[in-house]
Every structure is written in C-alpha cells, then in structure tokens.
Amino acid sequence: MYEVLSHTAVAVEPLLELDAHPECGGLALFVGTVRDHHEGRQVHHLKYTAHEPLAAKVIRDVEHATRERYGVPYVRIVHRLGDLSIGDVAIACVVRAPHRAEAFDACRYAVDAVKHGAPIWKEEFYADGSSAFVEGCCIRDDLDAPAATPHRHHSHTSHG
Amino acid sequence: MKPIVFELFANLERLAGANECRVDAGEETVTVADALAVLAEQRPELAGSLERCACVSGDTIVRRADPLPADRRIALLPPVAGG
C-alpha cells in the first residue's frame, strides 16, 4: 500500500496520476511548504513528529471520506515527518475530479481534515535558538467542555 | 500494583523529559480516566496538560470512560498541528 506519511522529501509529480482517470477534467493540488515566520517570530527550520499508526489511519480515512463526500475518484495525501527546512514540502494533497468545483472543494476539505484530525505535531525552531510546539487542535472525542479552550484558528493557517 | 505505561508525544514528551512514563497502579484502576488520575498524582508536571490529550490504544482513540487497555499502554496525544 502507498505511504501517507513520509520520512523523506515528498515528490509531488508521482502523486498526480495524470495518465489515469480519463473521466476527470480537473486536478486540484495543494502543497503546504515550510514558511520562515510564525506569529511574528522568524522560523529557521521545523520538525514534524506523529503518532504514526493513528496518523496513517486518520489520513487514509480522510482520503476515503473525501472521495465519498464529493463523489471524486482519486484523493491522495502525503504528510512529511522529520526535520524540514524553509520551503520543504510539508503536505501534498491531490484530487482528481470530473470538474473543477468539486476538485477545489474536496482538496480544501481534505487538507483541513488532516490538519485538524491527524496526530501530527510541528515543533518550530527559531532564529534565537529556542523552539516551541505550535498550538493545535484537541482531538479528544469525549471532551465535555470544548469551550474551555477556544479554537485558535490562526494556528491552523500555517500554509495559508 | 502493576505498571501502566504512557507514551508521550510533542509537548508532553518535552515536559516529562522522556517519551515514556511508567506509573504503578492498583486494582482499583479500571478505566482510562482512573489511569490518568494516577498519572496526574504521580507526575504533577504533566497534570495540567492531560485534559486536552486524546488517549490512544494501538491505532484507536479510547475514551476516558473506557476500560484500561489490556496491555496497560496508553498513548497521550496533545493537540495536533500538522499541515
């Protein structure tokens, strides 16, 4: 089975499947890359870690759910793990669809779902030598009082 | 008393200074919530971070009310920030 988590550089082109899916007239691609700043601090590099068994399962579930929800035949997501430099590919998501509207919508849905649900953590290393884990989304499904910790949407927009 | 092993990730791993944490618990510890209470008592530096952690056994999220996994291993997953 293909990999959804990669410890080495992610090559985007092999994910596109341009020579397949003749019924599809659209391909939407999102590539998230490492940015050199976060909340006013200069980012030198970063490290992604994961609970790999659950992260892989969540990403495969997102691929499946996206195909079902948008009626598209092909959704492929790869998330990078390990040490990344500025500009490196952090996540790639490809959707093939008959038409562009569902390709764009499905691609956005899939990327958001992975960011909010896959147990992957981003540790940023700053120019001053310090580092911090980026604050993220709680993935408990039995939390009674989610209002106690407001959703910080600015921390979800790392790539855009 | 039998050990329960917590696997620690991200900020929790940093707080504990290790990627695993072992606590001893008696037979009265029967649910995931019970196990977390023991952890919070024995490792107070982690206590404040547990509320927002998901608990995972193998590749499955378990709830606080669920029984302690048979292998007595729980992965503690703090809020996620991929992408």
The interface predicted TM-score of the complex, written ipTM, equals 0.95
Domain ranges of chain A: 5-10+20-140
User: Is A51–B56 a contact, with Cβ atoms under 8 angstroms apart?
Assistant: yes
Choose the weakest-confidence range: A114-128, A145-159, B18-32, B61-75. A145-159
* pLDDT value at residue A149: 45
User: Is B81–A57 a contact, with Cβ atoms under 8 angstroms apart?
Assistant: no
- DSSP class of B78: P
- The CATH code of domain A5-10+20-140 reads 3.90.1170.40
Chain B: nearest CA to A96, how far in angstroms? 20
pLDDT in tens, A83-111: 999 999 999 999 999 999 999 999 999 99
* pLDDT value at residue A1: 72
Residue A144 — very low, low, confident or very high, per pLDDT cuts 50/70/90?
low
* pLDDT value at residue B15: 95
Chain A: nearest CA to B61, how far in angstroms? 8
Q: Is residue A124 predicted with pLDDT exceeding 90?
A: yes
* pLDDT value at residue A154: 45
Q: In chain B, what residues touch A117 (CB-CB under 8 Å)?
A: 80
Instruction: State the total domains in chain B.
Output: 1
Q: In chain B, what residues touch A134 (CB-CB under 8 Å)?
A: 81
* pLDDT value at residue B1: 87
Answer whether residue B83 is part of any domain: no
* Cβ density class A41-70: b for 16+ within 10 Å, e for less: eebebbebbbbeebbbbbbeebbeebbeeb
Q: Could you tell me the CATH number of the domain that includes residue B8?
A: 3.10.20.30
Q: Is residue B6 predicted with pLDDT exceeding 70?
A: yes
pLDDT in tens, B36-64: 999 999 999 999 999 999 999 999 999 99
**Phi, psi at A36, each rounded to 5°:** -90, 10
A135 touching B, CB under 8 A? yes
Residue B17 sits in which domain range? 2-77
Q: What is the pTM of this model?
A: 0.91
Q: Are A124 and A46 a contacting pair, CB within 8 Å?
A: yes
Mean pLDDT of chain B: 96
